Amino acid sequence: MGLFRLLLAIAVLLQHVNGCEYAMTGGATSVQTFYIISGFFIAMILDTKYSRPDQLWVFYSNRALRIYSTYWLFLVAAILMQFAAHLAVHRSLFDLWSQNSQRLGEIGPWYLALTNLFIFGQDLALFLAIGNHGLHWTTSFWQSSPIVPVFMLIAPAWSLSLELSFYLIAPWLLRKRVRWVIALIVLSLTIRLVLWHMGLRADPWSYRFFPNELGLFLLGALSYRLIYRLYRNQIPSFRSKLFAFGIFPAVALFPLYDHSHGMFFSTTKLMYLGYVVFALPMLFRWTGAISLDRHLGELSYPLYLCHFSIVQMLNYYSFRLGVLSRAALAIVLSCGVAYLSVIALERPIDRFRQSRLRRSARFPKDSAPNPAHSLPVAEGARETIGESGNGGIQDPATNGELA
């Protein structure tokens, strides 16, 4: 699963390289695939690691640590880069903000500052335009000059706003009976169909409107509940491995068989998303215990956050390089920065998150801590032990990156 996630993040990167015509699944489809993966993982950890109601706060706070620690690291880096651009060429977001300060109105600057800091609400920028007297709603943010999303220091972070919205409601939605989850998927699809018939088919409605995308998160959850639960105790067969492996050429060769241009209701795109739903359990069961795959997966989130600034610099300062050279250089630099952030920040934060999870699993709120249980846990065991409410050891594949 780790290599799959990294491949999707690279596809998003390639979408942002000027002149790159072959970006695999590209931005829209890659992000929607991440929604399905997120639904799968969150359903899994709520079923295994955070199975007790009194662990709700630990779930939310551990998710926040996972998302915000890396986000704020790259937010600070983005601010420093914009400040350097301001000093060097006077072309930065600070200059753009100054030029449009009057048009943003009274609320606009506060909205942009808070959403840049806390992520929540960044997706709303895709449904806003700048008028003469502040921000107003629009069905196409592209009609605004400048567009509101350009004020976001980490441009791809709008999708994290949708992720965080899903995390907020996941403990309630994903513990409902399957028929209720299916009903919500149908409702989400109905909303998408209604908007489609109203003519709201293109960006941002095609993959950035949360009610539309909620169905994809929930499809990932059903993938776990209806397929992986039945499959997880079986030894992966050659056929299942072959079926799971097919997801890689499905991503890499996507432009050869899909011509939807980001539109959702395309036969080939729907077939691809359906394939992902059925292949994820087999892929995770096959690769979940492979340490190299897990390490590759660690790079996907920081690469997703840092690549845009790197690609922007290469697009602006390395225009003499060919498209392939810029794309390759962007991948290498982004992977390098992502790896450094994993070593310096994410792994220490992850150890802290796992220690909080272990404490919550051992000491429920209605029981007093037993000093005999306060023994240190071996460093090497932190990724492989997932403690449920009854203290049982879960599948080693549900490693620390999911908590």
pLDDT given at position 376: 33
Residues 6 or more apart whose CB falls under 8 angstroms from that of 328 comprise none
pLDDT given at position 361: 77
pLDDT given at position 389: 31
Task: Kindly report the backbone phi and psi dihedral angles of residue 19, in degrees, each rounded to the nearest multiple of 5, phi listed first.
Answer: 85, -5
> What is the distance between the alpha carbons of residues 208 and 160, in angstroms, rounded to a whole number?
11
pLDDT given at position 375: 32
Task: Kindly report the backbone phi and psi dihedral angles of residue 259, in degrees, each rounded to the nearest multiple of 5, phi listed first.
Answer: -130, 35
Residues 6 or more apart whose CB falls under 8 angstroms from that of 220 comprise 35, 36, 37, 38, 39, 40, 41, 42, 43, 277, 280
- State the virtual CA torsion across 334, 337, 341, 343 in degrees, nearest 10: 110
pLDDT given at position 298: 96
pLDDT given at position 113: 94
pLDDT given at position 102: 87
pLDDT given at position 321: 85
Supply the angle between the helices 158-173 and 26-48 in degrees, to the nearest 10: 30
For the chain, list residues with pLDDT below 50: 367-401
Distance linking the first and last C-alpha atoms of the chain: 16
> What is the distance between the alpha carbons of residues 359 and 376, in angstroms, rounded to a whole number?
11
Residue with tokens 């950035």: 208
pLDDT given at position 195: 96
pLDDT given at position 233: 82
Report angle CA 206, 210, 212 to the nearest 5 degrees.
50
> What is the distance between the alpha carbons of residues 335 and 146, in angstroms, rounded to a whole number?
31
pLDDT tens readout for residues 239-291: 999 999 999 999 999 999 988 777 888 999 999 999 999 999 999 999 988 99
Helix (H/G/I), strand (E/B), else coil: 135: strand
> What is the distance between the alpha carbons of residues 116 and 305, in angstroms, rounded to a whole number?
13
pLDDT given at position 90: 79
β-bridge pairing 128-131 and 134-137: antiparallel
Residue 228, token pair as written in the block: 């992986």
